[in-house]
Structure formats: C-alpha cells, structure tokens
Chains A and B, each alone.
Chain A
Amino acid sequence: MPSVRDLRDRIRSLKNTQQITKAMKQVAAAKIRRAEEARKRARPYADALAEMLADLMAAVSSVDHPFMKPGNASAPAGIVLMSADKGLAGAFNSNVIHAGETFARGRSGVRYYTVGLKARNAVRRMGVSEHPTWPLGASKIATAREIASRTADDFVHGTISEIVLVSQKLVSMMSQRPETRKLVPVLAEDLKAFAATGGEEQTRAARGAVEFSPSPEFVLSRLLPKYLEFTIYSAMLETEAAFFAAQLVAMTNATDNASKLIDELTIAMNNARQAAITKELLEIVGGAEALGVE
C-alpha cells in the first residue's frame, strides 16, 4: 500500500495537471470562436465565387482546361494531407493521418503534400523525408495559394495523376470526421454542387444572356485555380476550427478524469492516514499494556 506521502505527492501533481488542462480548455473555447469567425468571414467570398461559377457553367458547354481532364494515369496520386500543428486534441491528428494512409493503400503510388506539423512528422516517419510541407498556422491565404499552385503545377506537368485532399471535417462541436475529397481533376458535378450554394436559381434564369470578357472559357480558366485555392483555404480554416473543437473535448475529458482520480486518491490517502493513526494508537496501547502502565 502506498504511503500517505506518496499519495499526497500524486494528488498534488494531478492538481497541477488539472490546472493546465483546465486552462487549455478555456483557451480552446476562445480559439474556436475566433476560428469560426474566420470561417464566417470567408463565406461571402464563397457565395460570390459560387454565383460566378454558376453563370459560367451555364454558358460553357465543354470546358477545355487541364483541371477538367484526366491526369497522367501512370503518375502517383497527390495527397494533400492536412493536420494541426499541435497535439493534445485526442485522436484528431492520428485520425486524419490514418485516413490518408488508408487512401494511399488503395493507390499504387502516392506523393504527399503535408499541411500542419503533425502530418509532416507522420509522413516523415513513413520514410518520406523530403516532401513539400507547410505549417497550418501561419498566414493561411498565402499558404493556400502556394499549395494550390504547387499541386496544380505538378498535376499539369504530369508528376501526379490527381489532387486529393484529406482533412478533418467539423461535423459539430462534439464531432470531427476525416474526409477524403478529390479536388483535381475537377468533376463537373462538384462544380455544379458548389455553384448551387450560390442560390437564386430563378433570378439567374431571368438574367438572360451574360456577357463575358474576354470569353467564358477564359474566365473559367482563371476561376478554376481560384476555386482550388479557396477550397484549400477553407479546408485550412475548417481544420483549425475542428482542431480546437477536438482539443476542447479532449481537455474537458482530461480535466474530468483528473477530478475523478483526485477524488479516488484522496479517499485512498484518507484511508491510509487513518490506518496509520490506528496503527500508532494500537502500538501505544499495546506498548503501555506491556509495560503494565495503569
């Protein structure tokens, strides 16, 4: 049985841990709010992009753009694996990395592009030390642009056969799910689905002919890379929000578990202390009896 002092030390260290987890929980809660606001600020851009895309899709019958054509079939698949930069969020990072590996197993060859330090480290552990990687944290718009142009270049030059994004989806504050999405070649259905989020189908029908400058094909060829960029950017924002949501849950659980452990150890400590007192009393009484003290 552990001594009273051992138990007291353990309780003290648990209380310290609990203070840390409690602080991290509060920080995560505050950061979710910030991340959600950033996502809300990106919304008008998404709406406007969707609306323009809808006009274009209505005007263009067949699209002659490298993004809309199948890639070099003999090349490996390009995976953009997106994680957070930090841990302490339960299985958040390992789930998305696992989803990436699962996808990779179904392909004959893959080329990784990682976003977030955890994904980078995981891919390095797989034995791929040299691969394009970016942190999730820093200026996301510029990073998204770099990722988009890098992967698009590789796709157009035939280094990779497709661009697949594996990232965490924020289903709700309590649940995040890894999602695997094919970004390029762009499927016409995906574009149409995105365009439909722009709304106002009726007004569009009433709008009639739209004039494009210089041509709908040209505008679409400019818009597709932006669509890729923005999809990556919004996935980064979603990953960040989902990370803090996962961290909030993980830290809430950790704090609760610490409370439970502290309660158990406190009872054990009280028992041990009481046992020690009883033992001492018995010894004193026994000793006194032996000495014949009355």
Chain B
Amino acid sequence: MPARSTRSERTRSAWLMADGIAFKLVTPARVVFDGEATLVIAVTTEGEEGILPKHAPFLAALKPGILRANLLKNGASSRLELATSEGFMQALPDRVTVLVDEALAFDDVVVAEARDRLAAATERQKGAAAGSDAYAREQAAIDFASAQLRLTGHR
C-alpha cells in the first residue's frame, strides 16, 4: 500500500493543480509553444473560453485577441500571454491545440507598426460594406492590432 501523502503535499498539489494538460500552439511558420498547461483561456467568436484538464471534446473558432495560459514546467507554474490572430482551438480531455496565423509575445510586438496597422485597417473598413467579407477581414485586422496594443499596455 502506498504511503499516504502528507497534508501539506496534498494542499500543494491542489494549489498547483498538478495535473496539467498538453498544450500546443502552432502557426504555419512554427510551433510557438509545446508544453504543459493547467489552464488555457482563448477568445472564441462567442466570448472567452477557459480550458481546464479533462475538458470534453470541444472545437471553436477564435477571434483575434489575447490568449492566456497558466503553464506548468517542472512543477513550477508560469504565465503565458500572447496576442493571437484568427484561428481555432481544439480541446480534448488530455490536450489543447490552438491554431492561429500569428501569435506575438510582448517582446515581438512593434507598437508603432501595430498602431499603423490599426489605423490603416480602420480606414479601409470605412470603404467596405458592412457584413461583407472585406469588412470582416478588416475587423479581424483591427482586432489583432488592438490585441497587440492591449498586450503591451498601450490601450
């Protein structure tokens, strides 16, 4: 019979939620993150969705926004925050896969560039008919640029 765990150990593991989930974030260009997480929060088209381990099979379309995750590495937890463009999130009981065109970390964001993109997309959107594909495309560009600015604390 295995030795009973001490109270402090149990508390600690509950605190860390030691059972993580395999989390993978990929773009066409590279694998941005591949590791373990205890929580993944992404912005779906229906609003923010948090994924904990043992989630029921789930597949959602993502809006550009800020993706947050609590990572678990060698028992220590850390936080991941990325500005992501449009994509998809697939959750299974043992893993979460996020598929996006682009994922930028704090250091990857060029603020001036994001500002320019935001202004340019806003300008172009004015010329597009509401509800058209072009309109939606510019909206996605606007959302991605403003997610980058929010991530870097500029808005």
Is B a genuine binding partner of A? yes
Q: Interface residues, chain A, CB within 8 Å of chain B?
A: 38, 41-42, 44-45, 48-49, 51-52, 55-56, 141, 144-145, 149, 152-153, 156, 207-214, 216, 218-219, 222-223, 226, 230, 233
9 shortest interchain CB distances as A-B pairs = A213-B60, A210-B57, A222-B61, A44-B26, A45-B26, A211-B58, A45-B28, A48-B97, A219-B61
Number of B interface residues at 8 Å Cβ cutoff, please give it: 29
When the two chains form their complex, are residues A153 and B133 in contact, meaning their CB atoms are under 8 A apart?
yes
Q: B88 to chain A: which residues have CB within 8 Å?
A: 52, 219, 222-223, 226
By beta carbon, the residue of chain A nearest B137 is A149
A48 touches B49 (CB 8 A): no
What separation, in Å, do the CA atoms of A240 and B102 have in the docked complex? 22
Residue with the greatest number of chain A CB neighbours at <10 A, chosen from B28, B49, B99: B28
Mark interface residues in B80-123 (1 if CB within 8 Å of A CB, else 0).
00000011101010000101011000000000000000000000
Cβ–Cβ < 8 Å partners of A210 in chain B: 57-59
9 more contacts with CB within 8 A, not counting A210-B57, A226-B99, are A48-B26, A48-B90, A144-B28, A156-B133, A211-B58, A213-B44, A222-B61, A226-B88, A226-B101
Question: Known interface pairs A48-B97, A214-B45. Does A207 touch B92 (Cβ–Cβ under 8 Å)?
Answer: yes
Asked whether, in the complex, the Cβ of A211 is within 8 Å of the Cβ of B31, the reply is no
Closest residue of chain B to A219 (Cβ to Cβ) is B61
Residues on B with C-beta less than 8 A from A52 are 59, 88, 90, 97, 99
Q: Please tell me if the beta carbons of B61 and A45 are within 8 angstroms of each other in the complex.
A: no
**A213 pairs with B97, CB closer than 8 A:** no
CB distance from B52 to the nearest CB of A (A): 15
Contact of B9 with A by CB under 8 A: no
**B42: min CB distance to chain A, Å:** 11
